[in-house]
């Protein structure tokens, strides 16, 4: 009986120890995760020491670190801004230049068609009325409102702009009232190619290589008219880059050779 009692008591003591250990462990855990956690408990179980080791430190930026950060950010912004400016400026450079060339080619092509078809005016005027270096006057049915209508056409250069003036005949007998001339600016930012001369005139023997007639030109000698324009490409505001366009045609009603 004595041995059995001792065994029972030993088991009871073991159970009490395990129960107390579990209770202490629970209290420790509860102390850590609750507002009732105290420094005494943390010191007792060594928890405070372990937690403080992983706690973040409260440290801000120093003045030097802030200055370095600002300097790096500023450099990046400057480089980025320059890159964007280059991209956007290049995106408009080519279209502006191409537009200027296309506009010039359209104007010169129309001039060639008009001068090639030059004819006597409806009032009996000679096909070529004036032949100066910056102005030409002629009569042509090309683009006119009627099959028998011959318009008076004037091209002239003023203030770096090429203008076209058209006067339609009226009345019977037909006449050209210059007050009814319609003037249009057809090409801006143009000049002669290194000179003020835009229009060149050649005689009946012109074969593509001879010199133009000297001013003042006798219009009765002219059979071929040339035009040379230096067009500013206007890549950017104030640009001075130019593209030279030269063209010309033989007046069919006046030609004496096999020119075009």
Instruction: List beta partners, residue 140.
Output: 151
- Tally of structural domains, the chain: 2
72-99 burial code (b ≥16 CB/10 A, e <16): eeeeeeeeeeeeeeeeeeeeeeeeebee
What is the tens place of the pLDDT at every residue in 164-222? 999 999 999 999 999 999 999 999 888 887 788 999 999 977 877 889 999 999 999 99
C-beta separation of 169 from 150 below 8 A: yes
The three-state DSSP-derived secondary structure of 204-235 is CCCCCCCCCCCCCCCHHHCCEEEEEEEEECCC
- Alpha-carbon torsion, ordered 249, 252, 257, 259, to 10 deg: 30
Domain that holds residue 196: 92-250
Cα-to-chain-centroid distance, residue 26: 75
Task: Say if residue 186 is in the same domain as residue 245.
Answer: yes
Task: Say if residue 126 is in the same domain as residue 36.
Answer: no
Poorest-confidence range of 95-99, 139-143, 183-187?
Answer: 95-99
Poorest-confidence range of 10-14, 197-201, 202-206, 229-233?
Answer: 10-14
Task: Say if residue 103 is in the same domain as residue 50.
Answer: no
Determine, yes or no, domain membership for 46. yes
Task: Say if residue 118 is in the same domain as residue 178.
Answer: yes
- pTM for the model stands at 0.62
Task: Say if residue 166 is in the same domain as residue 224.
Answer: yes
228 band by pLDDT with thresholds 50, 70 and 90: very high
- C-alpha distances in angstroms, 96 versus 3, 72, 99, 187, 199? 113, 37, 5, 14, 26
Q: Tokens 């408009």, residue?
A: 92
> How does DSSP classify residue 171?
T
Q: Tokens 């060149």, residue?
A: 200
The C-alpha atoms of residue 216 and residue 225 are separated, in whole angstroms, by: 15
The C-alpha atoms of residue 34 and residue 190 are separated, in whole angstroms, by: 87
258 band by pLDDT with thresholds 50, 70 and 90: very low
The top-scoring range by mean pLDDT among 148-157, 186-195, 196-205, 230-239 is 148-157
96 band by pLDDT with thresholds 50, 70 and 90: low
Cα-to-chain-centroid distance, residue 45: 74
Task: Say if residue 138 is in the same domain as residue 39.
Answer: no
The C-alpha atoms of residue 88 and residue 65 are separated, in whole angstroms, by: 35
> How does DSSP classify residue 37?
-
Determine, yes or no, domain membership for 130. yes
Task: Say if residue 38 is in the same domain as residue 107.
Answer: no
- Cβ within 8 Å of residue 60, ≥6 positions away: none
C-beta separation of 203 from 223 below 8 A: yes
């Amino acid at each position: 009986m004595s041995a059995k009692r001792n065994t029972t008591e030993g088991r009871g003591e073991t159970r009490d120890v395990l129960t107390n250990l579990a209770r202490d462990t629970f209290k420790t855990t509860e102390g850590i995760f609750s507002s009732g956690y105290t420094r005494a408990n943390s010191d007792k179980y060594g928890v405070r020491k372990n937690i403080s080791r992983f706690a973040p430190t409260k440290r801000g930026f120093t003045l030097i670190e802030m200055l370095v950060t600002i300097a790096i950010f500023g450099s990046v912004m400057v480089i980025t801004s320059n890159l964007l400016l280059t991209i956007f400026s290049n995106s408009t450079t080519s279209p502006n230049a191409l537009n200027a060339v296309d506009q010039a080619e359209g104007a010169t092509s129309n001039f060639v068609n008009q001068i090639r078809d030059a004819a006597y005016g409806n009032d009996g005027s000679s096909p070529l009325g004036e032949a100066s270096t910056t102005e030409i006057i002629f009569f042509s049915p090309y683009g006119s409102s009627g099959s028998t209508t011959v318009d008076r056409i004037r091209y002239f250069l003023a203030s770096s702009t090429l203008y076209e003036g058209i006067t339609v005949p009226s009345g019977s007998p037909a006449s050209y009232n210059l007050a009814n001339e319609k003037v249009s600016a057809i090409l801006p930012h143009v000049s002669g190619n290194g000179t003020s001369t835009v229009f060149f005139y050649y005689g009946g023997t012109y074969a593509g290589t001879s010199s133009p007639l000297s001013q003042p030109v006798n219009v009765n000698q002219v059979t071929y008219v040339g035009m040379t324009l230096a067009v500013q490409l206007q890549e950017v505001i104030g640009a001075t880059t130019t593209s030279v366009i030269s063209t010309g045609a033989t007046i069919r009603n006046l030609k004496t050779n096999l020119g075009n």
